[in-house]
């Protein structure tokens, strides 16, 4: 897997360099206003992200042996489960309506059933996998959402042909352009939140790595998750919501934290590698 990670890291660096010099030109070529493809993944990505958060805390709570774990630890896991399950439900409902809420309730039940079937000798490993997924998702989201209002980059779709509003990804604007756009959301182009959400799906490969009979398929699961992330990233560019550098960095933060926390997991659970 190290070779795959290294190649992906180099590709991301190359894309960031290309975006640094050609962001605006690429956006002019790929922008398709009101396309259904972008609309679909705009609403799907947060639902997938919410589901991943729910799975992570389910792995942490439902693998706990109530008789052996301390009450303080159990209470902490319960709080995390309720908090992020509610967050996932909110994301699904906000973007997919009643259908999203129904889907999420079913996903919660199915996840509970499968987690409870995890063999006793594997529960500690899966609990740590859950923690790795949660840490990757939260840390990358906190960083991305913290950077957005600082950079204050105008989305391509909000420029309405006035390309004087374009700034490179490393330029700090703050709320400089807020008076000339329709809302605060339109100056949150960099980095891409949807790409960060999509990048978090890479952590699903850890579920395969933790299961002995699936361990040899970790790379396949990782590549499928990567393909999904690329589709989401391209949809954001086609919508004019983000530039190439936006989606590259948004995804890049998820990838970076995934690598960091995966290394932590390997130190704790070496058989996973």
- Please state the pTM of the whole predicted model: 0.92
Least confident of 40-49, 118-127, 224-233, 261-270: 261-270
143 vs 166: CA distance, rounded Å: 23
- The answer to whether 225 touches 204, Cβ cutoff 8 Å, is yes
pLDDT value of position 142: 97
Angle at 228 between CA 199 and CA 223, to 5 degrees: 85
Rounded mean pLDDT of the chain?
92
Alpha carbons 9 and 255: distance in angstroms, whole number: 8
């Amino acid at each position: 897997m190290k070779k795959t990670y290294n190649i992906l890291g180099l590709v991301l660096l190359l894309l960031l360099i290309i975006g640094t010099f050609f962001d605006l030109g690429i956006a002019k070529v790929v922008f398709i206003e009101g396309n259904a493809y972008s609309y679909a993944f705009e609403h799907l990505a947060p639902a997938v992200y919410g589901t991943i958060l729910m799975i992570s805390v389910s792995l942490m709570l439902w693998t706990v042996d109530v008789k052996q774990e301390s009450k303080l630890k159990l209470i902490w896991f319960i709080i995390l489960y309720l908090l992020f399950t509610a967050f996932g439900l909110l994301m699904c409902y906000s973007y997919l309506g009643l259908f999203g809420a129904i889907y999420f309730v079913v996903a919660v039940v199915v996840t509970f059933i499968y987690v409870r079937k995890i063999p006793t000798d594997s529960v500690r490993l899966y609990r740590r996998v859950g923690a790795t997924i949660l840490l990757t998702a939260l840390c990358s989201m906190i960083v991305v959402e913290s950077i957005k209002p600082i950079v204050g980059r105008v989305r391509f779709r909000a420029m309405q042909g006035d390309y004087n509003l374009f700034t490179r990804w490393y330029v700090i604007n703050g709320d400089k352009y807020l008076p000339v756009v329709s809302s605060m959301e339109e100056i949150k182009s960099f980095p891409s939140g949807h790409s960060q959400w999509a990048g978090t799906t890479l952590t699903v490969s850890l579920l395969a790595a933790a299961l002995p009979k699936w361990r040899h398929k970790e790379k396949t699961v990782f590549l499928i998750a990567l393909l999904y992330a690329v589709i989401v990233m391209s949809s954001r560019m086609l919508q004019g919501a983000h530039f190439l550098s936006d989606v590259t960095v948004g995804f890049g933060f998820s990838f970076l934290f995934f690598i960091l926390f995966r290394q932590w997991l390997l130190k704790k659970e070496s058989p996973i590698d």
